[in-house]
A and B are shown apart, each in its own frame.
Chain A
């Protein structure tokens, strides 16, 4: 078993050493480095990386297919050339319909099953928006349907939430399976709760009517996925045991661990000012990386307790994993900058190396001792890698690109360590 101290010390060393591989150059020169020009990259683009899944089973295509079928069904009721006297409203309905129809054809290109489902729920929502706006614009009020659907969805939500027994073969498996289900329930209730009233008469505001119908459809889609994912997981395993009590117990320990780690490894607010930590003023990739690492610590640090208090045990544990990983990255970034482990000047080679190391680091996750827990904690690395790709090309910003890749690289290594550490606490 990895001890806490072993994790704390080991992680910092390992990640900084990985950075040093990029070439430890003298960074005593604080003058603003020359900006990398796009032409210097000679059309280079970062490798495409398949982000490892955090789900320990493959949901069948039927979930995504049911979203597609429902989207098509909704769109079939909306004519491509609706008869609406108000030209602006007509154009808006035509655009919504056309947008949704294109999305149905394009589908999702995401790599992870949970993201694919999320995108399909979005497409189903777009179709519902066109449907709801069209009906309102042609004089049909859905006010009663909205009220009754909200009410029945709320009942379905409450029943699903109260019956979530976290059945799995192990407690660690329960975290990665039920964390996403909790997230779906969270999405659903957010959409069920009214933020605006259905317009009366509906014909006066088809846009608002469409938005409300979309929210309800998305809520239903989220509940469909929550039910479907739980059912499919149950069918994929024998010997499932309820893990709720065990997770609740572990979570207390994990929260204490996060609090202790935070207070021991993160400088206080004032002390985290880069002027207090570093001799030289930060610039370029270092400055961007430091800013991102610090922001992530603040962002991921504050989420766990809210999840626990709302009974979302899986999300709370996954949130703790992200908080720990981001703490380790922040510390590694500080040590790396202090130790001169980052290249002082950005070149095409440093950017390419950073991208390569990030993709290598992400690709290694499935070989980790807890591949699915690591994959579930990995999200920030996946989104940072995506930002790096965008900043290398579409929004050409080489400094941000390199900082994003370096963050992704560090975070992917940290996610594996944080997952092992959390798994140890759960299994203790």
Chain B
């Protein structure tokens, strides 16, 4: 399980403290699903895409995790969530054997508090033997510090550049004028 600080938010979004787990599988095309058929075969990157937001325990009941070590890892992380105070976003996608997907930002809308994940795709280290025609599946489970009850929509984005240097925060320190005699 990972716990990250605050990456760069978009202008109308704010970063939030979060925890996550990520898994990668060369053999399972589906690591979790909100559908009932767990045995389906998904052959393309697009077919392996799945994005669900879990605001309550009931939402969790709608999800089925693969009955494998990787599926159990995701399921165990999600089931440890206190849904009275927190919520979870599940995200999965296909990725070629030679690439990996990194989580770059976990944010909520400044006004609507809607959750959002940002990822980037990069080439894996040169010494990893791989072929671009082989497809793997990656999945993330990210725990948000909000109860999720008022969430209207949620989403995710993917960038091709994992080297982007985050912009520095705006200088927001203030000074106050002291009146005479004030310590």
User: A: which residues have CB within 8 A of B?
Assistant: 84-90, 92, 136-139, 196, 201, 203-208
Q: Please state if A86 and B163 are interface contacts (CB–CB under 8 Å).
A: no
Contacts A138-B126, A203-B127 given; does A88 touch B163 at CB 8 Å: no
Residue of B nearest to A137 (CB): B126
Q: Please state if B123 and A207 are interface contacts (CB–CB under 8 Å).
A: yes
Q: Within B125-160, which residues are at the interface with A (CB < 8 Å)?
A: 125-132
* Minimum Cβ distance to chain A for residue B104 (Å): 16
27 A-B pairs with C-beta separation under 8 A: A85-B126, A85-B128, A85-B129, A86-B123, A86-B125, A86-B126, A86-B128, A86-B129, A87-B130, A87-B132, A88-B98, A89-B98, A89-B123, A89-B126, A90-B126, A136-B126, A137-B126, A138-B126, A139-B126, A139-B127, A196-B163, A196-B165, A203-B126, A203-B127, A206-B126, A207-B123, A208-B163
Residues of chain A within 8 A of B126, CB atoms compared: 84-86, 89-90, 136-139, 203-204, 206
Residues of chain A within 8 A of B129, CB atoms compared: 85-86
How far, in angstroms, from A207 to B98 measured CA to CA in the complex? Answer: 14
* Minimum Cβ distance to chain B for residue A118 (Å): 26
Q: Within B88-104, which residues are at the interface with A (CB < 8 Å)?
A: 96, 98-99
Q: Please state if A203 and B125 are interface contacts (CB–CB under 8 Å).
A: yes
Q: B42 at the A/B interface (Cβ < 8 Å)?
A: no
How far, in angstroms, from A239 to B140 measured CA to CA in the complex? Answer: 73
Residues of chain B within 8 A of A90, CB atoms compared: 126
Residues of chain A within 8 A of B98, CB atoms compared: 86-89
How far, in angstroms, from A89 to B122 measured CA to CA in the complex? Answer: 11
Q: Please state if B163 and A85 are interface contacts (CB–CB under 8 Å).
A: no
How far, in angstroms, from A84 to B132 measured CA to CA in the complex? Answer: 13
Residues of chain B within 8 A of A84, CB atoms compared: 126
* Minimum Cβ distance to chain A for residue B120 (Å): 13
Q: A85-B130, A92-B123 are in contact. List 18 more A-B contacts (CB 8 A).
A: A85-B129, A86-B127, A86-B129, A87-B130, A87-B131, A88-B98, A88-B99, A88-B130, A88-B132, A139-B126, A139-B127, A201-B125, A203-B125, A203-B126, A203-B127, A205-B123, A206-B126, A208-B163
User: B: which residues have CB within 8 A of A?
Assistant: 96, 98-99, 122-132, 163, 165
Residues of chain A within 8 A of B123, CB atoms compared: 86, 88-89, 92, 205, 207
* Minimum Cβ distance to chain B for residue A140 (Å): 11
Residues of chain A within 8 A of B124, CB atoms compared: 86, 88
Residues of chain A within 8 A of B122, CB atoms compared: 205
How far, in angstroms, from A208 to B123 measured CA to CA in the complex? Answer: 11
Residue of A nearest to B165 (CB): A196
How far, in angstroms, from A85 to B127 measured CA to CA in the complex? Answer: 5
* Minimum Cβ distance to chain B for residue A93 (Å): 9
Residue of B nearest to A195 (CB): B165
How far, in angstroms, from A336 to B14 measured CA to CA in the complex? Answer: 54
How far, in angstroms, from A90 to B129 measured CA to CA in the complex? Answer: 10
How far, in angstroms, from A87 to B134 measured CA to CA in the complex? Answer: 11
Residue of A nearest to B99 (CB): A88
Residue of A nearest to B131 (CB): A87
How far, in angstroms, from A92 to B128 measured CA to CA in the complex? Answer: 15
Residues of chain B within 8 A of A206, CB atoms compared: 126
Residues of chain B within 8 A of A89, CB atoms compared: 98, 123, 126
Q: Please state if A204 and B125 are interface contacts (CB–CB under 8 Å).
A: yes
Residues of chain A within 8 A of B99, CB atoms compared: 88
* Minimum Cβ distance to chain A for residue B43 (Å): 20
Residues of chain A within 8 A of B130, CB atoms compared: 85-88
Instruction: Give the 3 A-B CB pairs with smallest separation, nearest first.
Output: A85-B129, A137-B126, A88-B98
| Residue in A86, A89, A138, A196 with the greatest tally of chain B CB atoms within 10 Å | A86
Residues of chain B within 8 A of A87, CB atoms compared: 98, 130-132
Residues of chain B within 8 A of A88, CB atoms compared: 96, 98-99, 123-124, 130, 132
How far, in angstroms, from A207 to B130 measured CA to CA in the complex? Answer: 17
Residues of chain B within 8 A of A201, CB atoms compared: 125
Residues of chain B within 8 A of A138, CB atoms compared: 126
How far, in angstroms, from A90 to B163 measured CA to CA in the complex? Answer: 20
* Minimum Cβ distance to chain A for residue B123 (Å): 5
How far, in angstroms, from A180 to B129 measured CA to CA in the complex? Answer: 48
Residue of A nearest to B97 (CB): A87
How far, in angstroms, from A85 to B132 measured CA to CA in the complex? Answer: 11
